[in-house]
A and B are shown apart, each in its own frame.
Chain A
Amino acid sequence: MLDQGRINKRNDVLATALLWCAGLVILLILVCFLGYMLVQGLPVLLRPGFLLGMPSDIRAGGGIGPQLFNSFYILFLSLLISVPIAIGAGIYLSEYAKNNRLTDIVRLSTESLATVPSIVLGLFGMIVFVSYFEFGFSIIGGALALSLLNIPVLVRVTEETLRTIPRSYREASLALGATKWQTIWRVVLPQALPGISTGVTLTAGRALGETAILIFTAGTSVSRTFPDFDLFAAGETLAVHLWYVNGIGMVPDKTQIANGIGALLILVILVFNLAIGLPIRYYQQKMLKGAK
């Protein structure tokens, strides 16, 4: 019996050590990935004329200016399209949805949409936006296709955030004679704003690096003018350029350019996640604690 007890204790210590190892390995892999990319890419990023310069097809020393612009332009447009729809659907699921067939279908659709592989969304965007609506490989085509990726994530974020708002807030507002919409607009949504903002920021970070959707909707070339706000201009983004230049490009410094873009993408997601996402989340926790 005593021996068994000792074995159990030893196993417990061993397992605890192993689980600690797993946790540390997971952190270590992340740090290695981020560190490697930054070390390789930061010198390129600081190269004069790289960040805002025009790309070159053949010679070394080209920049990524148009791609940088397109990345944020497409991201902005896609959020403009996806945020209102997603928040609307999220509000429906959290505030209105009854336990019926319609709700079930909407939920199943949202979950399915969230797991559609991005290359499939890309091909769909190619048939519908590029060919059928004749947008061509364009910024608007890319933004619309990218919205399909954002929407299900944002719906879930909105619904989950709204569900954390205490029931009593809604009841107090309704009891004062406010309508349901007034309650949602003046009581529930302001409370949920920090949570929804965090969700939008994290989604934006993810969408910024998306590639498979954009290759066949926004295309792999850029406009000759920079910055070009034309919605129908070719819209290659940073991530697509990384892939294209590294695989198919003919410039001699293609690895350098890829390194530079990699580091830039990492920097941007660090800003999105840590500099914007974390403070909002902190504020939100403080507010929720205050509410209790």
Chain B
Amino acid sequence: MNRNVIAERVLDMKKNMDGHHVRTLLYDRYIRYLFIASAMMMTLIILTIIIFVGRQGLLTFKEVSPLQFFFGTNWDPPFEYGALSFIVGSLAVTALAILIGGPLGLAGAVFMAKIAPPRMREVMRPATDLYVAIPSVVYGFIGLTVLVPFIRSVLHTGSGFGLLAAGLVLAIMILPTVITISEDAIRSVPRPLEEASLALGATRWQTIWKVIIPAALPGILASIILAMARAIGETMAVQMLIGNTPQLPFNLTTPTTTLPSEIVVEMGNTPFGSAWNNSLFLMALVLLVISLLLILAIRYLAKKNAMNTSNA
């Protein structure tokens, strides 16, 4: 065959291959932009949420003074917009849930990480997933049909609705958050630390209490903070159990209310754009700000922890 013909063919092949190659490289580049765009969506979404909810909520202050909203206890729209009892209710029910659910969840985490035999762990892991999967209306409904009558008949006071019923059910609902994150933290404590303690003659419990838990503390704290974020934003279960009465809670069985449950109850009957409606968005903004602050606290803890371990 003629040399020129061969050379032409080779050149031709090269050209084709180059075309293919160039196209592959182009795909590679453009798809990268697609991924970056999806990632940027996260920022776009959260910013849009803050802006829309924030703008609508802050409109309240055109007609209501911040002083009245945050420190007034009289909720009587459209005349008075004192939201203090909702804020106090939210904080109180969250505190109660953490006080009950925190220690139990932590004990469960220690159990799963250090004590449970593998078989038992295989059961507990899907069990915590199931805790997350049970819908909050179902938690609320069971609380309503079992816990509320029980509290009413045992304590003989009031209706059974209030902080106690809501707090107990919330304590159960935050268990999986506390368990999974604390367990991870406990597991990631370096093994030599544990072995050193045991080698010094400490019992397993002494090792857990004096070595493992202090070492895992930042992670455990993070799990508690995340549980707080879940508890304060929980809507349905609390709404079904708290009693929905705008008054400050004087004891555990006074019917009271929280920010989310007040939003759910009143949003349907207020015209969009009214001061009343805007004040509900302001409550949502308060919730949003609280949960963002909690996230910042967790990040601060994580950063501090990373610095500590890199120093050690």
Interface residue ranges, A against B (CB under 8 Å)? 8-9, 11-12, 14-16, 18-20, 22-23, 25-27, 29-30, 33-34, 36-37, 40, 84-89, 91-93, 95-97, 105-106, 108-113, 115-121, 123-124, 126-128, 131, 148, 151-152, 155, 179-182, 202, 205-206, 208-212, 215-216, 239-240, 242-243, 246-247, 255, 258, 262, 265-266, 269-270, 272-274, 277-278
User: Is B203 a contact partner of A11 (Cβ separation < 8 A)?
Assistant: yes
Identify which of B4-12, B62-70, B81-89, B126-134 touches chain A. B126-134
Known: A22-B108, A23-B116. A89 touches B233 (CB 8 A): no
Q: Which chain B residue has the least Cβ–Cβ distance from A198? A: B129
Q: Which chain A residue has the least Cβ–Cβ distance from B206? A: A8
User: Is A117 a contact partner of B27 (Cβ separation < 8 A)?
Assistant: no
User: Is B39 a contact partner of A106 (Cβ separation < 8 A)?
Assistant: yes
- When distances are taken between beta carbons in the complex, the residues of chain A under 8 Å from B200 are none
Q: Which of B46, B53, B268 is the one whose CB lies under 8 Å from A113?
A: B46
User: Is B208 a contact partner of A15 (Cβ separation < 8 A)?
Assistant: yes
Q: Which chain A residue has the least Cβ–Cβ distance from B32? A: A96
Interface presence of B37 (CB below 8 A): yes
Known: A23-B112, A115-B295. A273 touches B130 (CB 8 A): yes
Q: Which of B108, B135, B284, B292 is the one whose CB lies under 8 Å from A119?
A: B284
What count of chain B residues pass the 8 Å CB interface test? 91
User: Is A243 a contact partner of B203 (Cβ separation < 8 A)?
Assistant: no
User: Is A89 a contact partner of B41 (Cβ separation < 8 A)?
Assistant: yes
Known: A25-B104, A215-B264. A16 touches B205 (CB 8 A): yes
Q: Which 3 residue pairs of A and B lie closest in terms of their CB atoms, listed nearest first? A: A209-B135, A117-B233, A88-B38
Known: A124-B49, A179-B28, A181-B32. A262 touches B42 (CB 8 A): no
Q: Mark B24-67, 1 if CB is under 8 A from A, else 0.
A: 11011001101111111111011111001100100000000000
User: Is A119 a contact partner of B138 (Cβ separation < 8 A)?
Assistant: no
User: Is B42 a contact partner of A273 (Cβ separation < 8 A)?
Assistant: no
Identify which of B72-80, B141-149, B248-256 touches chain A. B141-149
- Give the tally of cross-chain contacts (CB within 8 A): 259
In terms of DSSP, what is the predominant structure of the interface of chain B?
A: helix
In the bound assembly, the distance between CA atoms of A205 and B284 in angstroms comes to 26
Interface presence of B95 (CB below 8 A): no
Q: Which chain A residue has the least Cβ–Cβ distance from B226? A: A115
User: Is A266 a contact partner of B134 (Cβ separation < 8 A)?
Assistant: yes
Shortest Cβ gap from A3 to chain B (Å): 15
User: Is B264 a contact partner of A119 (Cβ separation < 8 A)?
Assistant: yes
- When distances are taken between beta carbons in the complex, the residues of chain B under 8 Å from A127 are 52-53, 56
- When distances are taken between beta carbons in the complex, the residues of chain B under 8 Å from A131 are 272
User: Is A211 a contact partner of B53 (Cβ separation < 8 A)?
Assistant: no
Given contacts A22-B104, A34-B134, A120-B287, 10 further A-B contacts (CB under 8 A): A14-B205, A16-B115, A16-B204, A20-B115, A23-B112, A23-B120, A89-B39, A111-B298, A115-B229, A211-B135
Which has the most chain B C-beta neighbours within 10 Å: A19, A95, A152, A180?
A19
In the bound assembly, the distance between CA atoms of A106 and B37 in angstroms comes to 11
User: Is A209 a contact partner of B172 (Cβ separation < 8 A)?
Assistant: no
User: Is A209 a contact partner of B137 (Cβ separation < 8 A)?
Assistant: yes
Q: Which of B25, B32, B127, B132 is the one whose CB lies under 8 Å from A26?
A: B127
User: Is A120 a contact partner of B111 (Cβ separation < 8 A)?
Assistant: no
Shortest Cβ gap from B267 to chain A (Å): 6
- When distances are taken between beta carbons in the complex, the residues of chain A under 8 Å from B216 are none
Known: A19-B111, A116-B49. A209 touches B136 (CB 8 A): yes
Q: Which of B146, B206, B267 is the one whose CB lies under 8 Å from A36?
A: B146
User: Is A22 a contact partner of B111 (Cβ separation < 8 A)?
Assistant: yes
User: Is A91 a contact partner of B292 (Cβ separation < 8 A)?
Assistant: no
Shortest Cβ gap from B57 to chain A (Å): 9
Q: Which of A86, A97, A123 is the one whose CB lies under 8 Å from B267?
A: A123
Interface presence of B236 (CB below 8 A): yes
- When distances are taken between beta carbons in the complex, the residues of chain A under 8 Å from B205 are 11-12, 14-16
Interface presence of B107 (CB below 8 A): yes
Shortest Cβ gap from B89 to chain A (Å): 15
Known: A9-B203, A19-B107. A119 touches B52 (CB 8 A): no
- When distances are taken between beta carbons in the complex, the residues of chain A under 8 Å from B175 are 26, 29
What are 5 pairs between A and B in contact, CB < 8 Å? A112-B46, A116-B233, A124-B49, A202-B132, A258-B141
- When distances are taken between beta carbons in the complex, the residues of chain B under 8 Å from A25 are 104
User: Is A212 a contact partner of B260 (Cβ separation < 8 A)?
Assistant: yes
- When distances are taken between beta carbons in the complex, the residues of chain A under 8 Å from B245 are none
Shortest Cβ gap from B67 to chain A (Å): 24
User: Is A18 a contact partner of B46 (Cβ separation < 8 A)?
Assistant: no
Shortest Cβ gap from B208 to chain A (Å): 7
- When distances are taken between beta carbons in the complex, the residues of chain B under 8 Å from A12 are 203-206
Interface presence of B235 (CB below 8 A): yes
Shortest Cβ gap from B34 to chain A (Å): 6
User: Is A120 a contact partner of B141 (Cβ separation < 8 A)?
Assistant: no
Shortest Cβ gap from A240 to chain B (Å): 8
Interface presence of B197 (CB below 8 A): no
Q: Which chain A residue has the least Cβ–Cβ distance from B232? A: A117
Interface presence of B123 (CB below 8 A): yes
Q: Which residues, 279 to 294 on B, are CB-close (under 8 Å) to A?
A: 280-281, 284, 287-288, 291-292, 294
